[in-house]
Structures are given as structure tokens and as C-alpha cells.
Amino acid sequence: MVRVVPLTDEEKMSIVSGLRSSVPATKLVTLRKLQEIAEVRPEALIYLDTYDKVTLNEIITLLNQIIEYDPDEILRREAMITLEKVKKALGTKFSTFVPLCTSCNSPIDLGWNFCTNCGAEIKNMKFEEEIAKCPNCNNYISDSWKHCAHCGAKLKEEEEAVLRCPNCKRPIQPEWIICPYCGYRLKRKP
């Protein structure tokens, strides 16, 4: 059985501050640490994608900023390698679009009303990529939402319940005895 060990708050803070550092050696060590996590503990990134999208989006945004703007060629190359390993670890869950505040360029969550960095109202922002809006309150919404996070309006009809592995939370079939993703025993053999 594979036990999911999520990133601790200290690890998340260390990664974000390391990627933001102005010291090239610190960035390089952080990039290598993130590569190791993507290779050895990919479930930690999937867990992050499920439970802390804001931090994951911030990490992806910082990687993209290093790739595009860092003057050090080695750091740009390492950031590209790191981003590819993070994408591979996330598999189909990887999303390339990360909404950024149009005032301060910080990652934002569409469920927020204001940017946590500068206080700009998210409802009034215009994004490069088209984002759907709630027909009831006209706030930005995510395609995956069943209800609007702002006003609670129903956005999608409920789908029939998906059975999930209690260990890794991936979809499973009712007849499976063992989860094929993490090896968790779902039920005893008949």
C-alpha cells in the first residue's frame, strides 16, 4: 500500500521562498528539490493539486517566471526540466492556465473576491484567457465547479456518485478488490 505523504507547510514555504530567492544557488537547490519530489513523491504534488491549488499554481507560476525572465541560462534550463517533471507527476490533472492578478501579477483563486497581495477586486479583472462567469452573480467561475463559490447558484447538474479509493482518492470500479493506482485493498476476496 502506498501511503500519501503530503508536503508539509514548511516544505511548501521553503519551495516558494526558494523559487523567489534572488540567490541563484538557492533557486538551483530548490529546483532540484522540486524535481526530486516530482520523481520520488509524485503523489505529494497530486495531493497539493487536490487540496492546495493556490500553492501549486504559485509554484508553477514561479517556474514559468524563471524560465522566461531569469538571466541565468542554467536556472532557466533547470526550471524547464522541473516544470516538465511536475507536469509528468500531475499527469492529466496539470492545468497550464494560472489566473494572475492584473494589478500585481500574483496567483489568484477564482473563488476569491479580492487579491490577497494587493486587494484588487477580481470580479473587475480582464484575463488573457477567457474565463466563464456565473450567470447569477457575474463573478468568475471554474469549469469544474458544480455551484458558484460566490453566490451558491447551481452551475451543473449533479453527476452520479463516483466511487473513489479511500487511500489515493482516484476513481475506482465497484468490482475491484485492489486499487490499481496505489495498491490499497478495497475489499476482501469473496
Residues 116 and 138 in one domain: yes
Domain carrying residue 72 = 9-93
Give the separation between CA 41 and CA 58, rounded to whole angstroms.
19
Given this model, what pLDDT does residue 128 score? 74
Is residue 28 included in any domain, yes or no? yes
Residues 16 and 40 in one domain: yes
Residues 151 and 190 in one domain: no
Is residue 99 included in any domain, yes or no? no
> Which residue is listed with cell 501549486?
56
Q: Domains in the chain: how many in total?
A: 3
Is residue 43 included in any domain, yes or no? yes
**Half-sphere exposure at residue 74, Cβ-oriented, CA atoms within 13 angstroms:** 7
Given this model, what pLDDT does residue 37 score? 94
Residues 124 and 185 in one domain: no
Is residue 183 included in any domain, yes or no? yes
- Last residue of one domain, picked from the residues 45, 69, 93: 93
Contact 67, 115 (CB under 8 A): no
Given this model, what pLDDT does residue 24 score? 96
Closest C-alpha to 12, from 65, 74, 57: 57
Q: What is the pTM of this model?
A: 0.51
Phi, psi (degrees; rounded to nearest 5) at 133: -120, 150
Is residue 4 included in any domain, yes or no? no
Residues 67 and 25 in one domain: yes
Is residue 101 included in any domain, yes or no? no
Is residue 100 included in any domain, yes or no? no
Residues 147 and 83 in one domain: no
Residues 128 and 164 in one domain: no
Instruction: Walk along the chain (190 residues) and give the pLDDT tens digit of each residue.
Output: 456 678 999 999 999 999 999 999 999 999 999 999 999 988 899 888 888 888 999 999 999 999 989 999 999 999 999 999 998 888 755 545 668 888 988 778 788 889 888 999 998 898 877 888 999 999 988 877 888 888 989 888 765 667 888 888 888 888 888 888 888 888 886 6
Residues 26 and 87 in one domain: yes
Residues 182 and 115 in one domain: no
- Last residue of one domain, picked from the residues 93, 126, 150: 93
Residues 168 and 154 in one domain: no
Contact 19, 30 (CB under 8 A): yes
Is residue 2 included in any domain, yes or no? no
